[in-house]
Copies of this chain bind each other. A is one copy, B any other.
Amino acid sequence: MHYKVAFIGFGTVGQGLAELLQEKASLLKQKYNLECSVVAISDIQKGSVFQEEGLDLNKILPLAKEGKSLESYSAGQKGWDSLKTIAESNADIIVEATYSNFDTGEPALSHFRKALELGKSVITTNKGPIALAYPELINLAQKKGGSLRFEGTVMSGTPTLSLATEALAGAEINSIEGILNGTTNYILTNMEAGRSYNEVLKEAQELGYAEADPTADVEGWDALGKIVILANVLMGANLKVSGCNRVGITALTQNDIEKAKQEGKRWKLIASARKIDEEIEAGVAPQKLSLDDTLAGISGVTNAVKLTTDTLGQVTMVGPGAGRKETGFSLLSDLLAIHRLRK
Q: Chain A residues in contact with chain B, CB under 8 A?
A: 20, 24, 27-28, 32, 157-159, 162-163, 166-172, 292, 294, 296-299, 311-320, 325-326, 328-329, 332-333, 336-337, 340-341
Contacts and interface: CB of A to CB of B under 8 A. Distances in A.
Nearest to A156: B312
Nearest to A341: B340
Across the A-B interface, give the 9 residue pairs with the lowest CB-CB distance, nearest first. A297-B297, A159-B167, A162-B167, A315-B319, A316-B318, A311-B329, A169-B336, A157-B312, A170-B332
Contact of A294 (B168, B297, B315, B320): B297
A313 to B, nearest CB: 6
A166 B313 contact: no
Copies of this protein in the complex? 2
A167 B170 contact: no
Given A169-B32, A297-B297, A320 B316 contact: no
Contacts of A163: 159, 163, 167, 317
A329 B159 contact: no
Given A159-B168, A167-B162, A312 B317 contact: no
A331 B28 CA distance: 29
A317 B320 contact: no
B171 A329 contact: yes
Contacts of A314: 318-320
Given A314-B319, A315-B317, 19 more contacts: A24-B170, A27-B170, A27-B172, A157-B171, A157-B311, A159-B315, A163-B317, A166-B337, A170-B329, A170-B336, A171-B329, A292-B297, A294-B318, A296-B297, A311-B332, A312-B320, A314-B318, A314-B320, A316-B319
Contacts of A311: 20, 157, 325-326, 328-329, 332
A297 B318 CA distance: 12
Contacts of A27: 170, 172
Contact of A318 (B157, B296, B318, B336): B318
Which of A157, A163, A171, A311 is the most central at the interface, judged by chain B CB atoms within 10 Å of its CB? A311
Nearest to A166: B166
Given A163-B167, A170-B336, A341-B341, A318 B315 contact: yes
Contacts of A318: 294, 314-318
Contacts of A292: 297, 299
A318 B319 CA distance: 12
Contacts of A157: 171, 311-312
Given A162-B167, A170-B28, A326 B340 contact: no
A65 to B, nearest CB: 19
Contact of A326 (B170, B298, B313, B325): B313
Nearest to A172: B27
